[in-house]
Structure 1
Amino acid sequence: MIKPQPYELICKKCGWSKTFAPASDVIQLGRDYVSACPECGNSELQHKAAEPMKG
């Protein structure tokens, strides 16, 4: 099993964003990713590596 790195999805249309940290390489819709913005429905989401958590 290869654990994916945490990543952030960002909607450039409305500004919604969420960081996902999958627990395994088995990715599930809704838990580990979304295919469209839950706020506005935009399906063109920006994907980027998550920034380190601030302590």
Structure 2
Amino acid sequence: MIKPQPFELKCTQCGWSKTFAPASDVLHPGQDLVASCPKCGNEELEHKAVGAVKGLLAEIREQLKAR
């Protein structure tokens, strides 16, 4: 199992963004990945890698949600 690096998806239309920190290589729609912007429905999402600090914060957020 290779854990993916944290990444950010950003809507090119409305500016919505979310940082994802998948726990494993199995990605769950809605939890680890979205196909369209939940705010405006746009399907053109920009995918980019995030830095170490932002990735760590996303991982902590996911751990706290799991409790």
**Matched positions, count:** 54
Task: Indicate the structure with greater helix content.
Answer: 2
**Structure 2: runs of 5+ lacking an equivalent:** 55-67
Whole-Å Cα distance in 2 between the matches of residues 51 and 17 of structure 1? 15
Q: How high is the sequence identity, in percent, across the aligned residues?
A: 67
Runs of 4+ in 1 over 3 A off after TM superposition: none
More strand by share: 1
Cα distance in 2, alignment partners of residues 10 and 52 from structure 1: 18
DSSP 3-state at the match of 2:47: strand
Q: Distance in 2 between matches of 1:33 and 1:40?
A: 16
TM-score (norm 1): 0.92
Structure 1 gap ranges (5+): none
Aligned partner of 2:36 in structure 1 is 36
- Correspondence for 1:21: 21
